[in-house]
Each structure stands twice: as C-alpha cells, then as structure tokens.
Amino acid sequence: MPPFEILGIKVSLVFEERRMAVLNVKDISCSWPLYIFLLGILIFMIGAKIEGKVGDKVPTLIELPLSMISNTLSFTRLAGFLIGHAAFALVVETMGEGGAVMYYLALFGMNFLVLTIELLVVSLQALRLLFYEFSTKWYIGGGRPYKPFRL
C-alpha cells in the first residue's frame, strides 16, 4: 500500500529502509508483525524459564494464536455493522431525492430499522455472553436435577 496523507501527515505502512510491510502474503518474512509476535513468544518463554514454570506456559502458547484469530474474526461483525449503516445511509440519500418529506420519512424509517437490528444483535450478544462465557467458566453443578412443574 503506497504512503498516503491524513490532515497533512504522511502515513506509511511500509518501513521504507527495509521494505517491511504490515502484511506481505507473498513473503511472510517481510511482515514486521511476525517478528513482533515471535519476540513476544520469546519474552514469554524467558519469563516462564525464570519462574520455573515452562510446562505450565506451553498450553498458553497454543491457545494464544488461536484466540487471536478467533477474536479477530469475532470483531469482523463490526465491519458488517459499518457496511449496513453505509447501505442504509445510501438508501436515505437516494430516497431524499424525492423531496424533503420523503427524505425525513426515509431518515426516520432507516434509523428505526438500524436501531431495531442493533437491538437484536446486542440482545443476542448478551445472551451469548451469559450462557456461553459465564456459565461455562463459573457455573458449578452439583445441585438437584431440574424437574419442571407439570399439571
């Protein structure tokens, strides 16, 4: 990606002197995050060696990359929200060409639709956190079996 400017400040995602890119799929050895990740693993293992708990830290080294990938994929839903908002804004802009009344009706309708969709998404996220995250981490069974009330 070539350098670009934001508010007069040159932003470059490539270290020019070494040609190190943020992500170079063709030659991964030229991607500087790879070296930062490997340095982090090295520091982690040195700390484990100093503590004398190398065996306890190995599962973390397996889980860490997997959780990084899953968290990244989890946050792609935000990109979906962004695309949805942009699409609704284009609909409002297109409907606004029909006059002021149509514009305000479209603006109200699309905002209502976006808020409804996000309410559904937030509700589902809250339920997921409650049932999946919290219940599997802190719930300890051992009580009496559930027997629903019957007539």
24-56 in b/e form (b: 16+ CB < 10 A) is eeeeeebbbeeeeeeeeeeeeeeebeeeeeeee
Same domain, 66 and 28: yes
Reported as a pLDDT band with limits 50, 70 and 90, residue 85 is: confident
CA distance 30 to 22: 8
CA distance 13 to 19: 10
Does residue 147 fall inside a structural domain? no
- Enumerate helices (H) and strands (E) in the chain, giving the number of each: 5, 4
pTM for the structure as a whole: 0.43
Full domain range(s) for residue 88: 76-137
Same domain, 61 and 88: no
Of 74, 105, 121, the position where a domain reaches its end is 74
Same domain, 48 and 66: yes
pLDDT (mean) for 100-107: 83
pLDDT of residue 22: 63
Q: How many CB atoms lie within 10 A of CB 92?
A: 19
Residue 21 β-bridge partners = 14, 31
Same domain, 16 and 35: yes
pLDDT of residue 16: 54
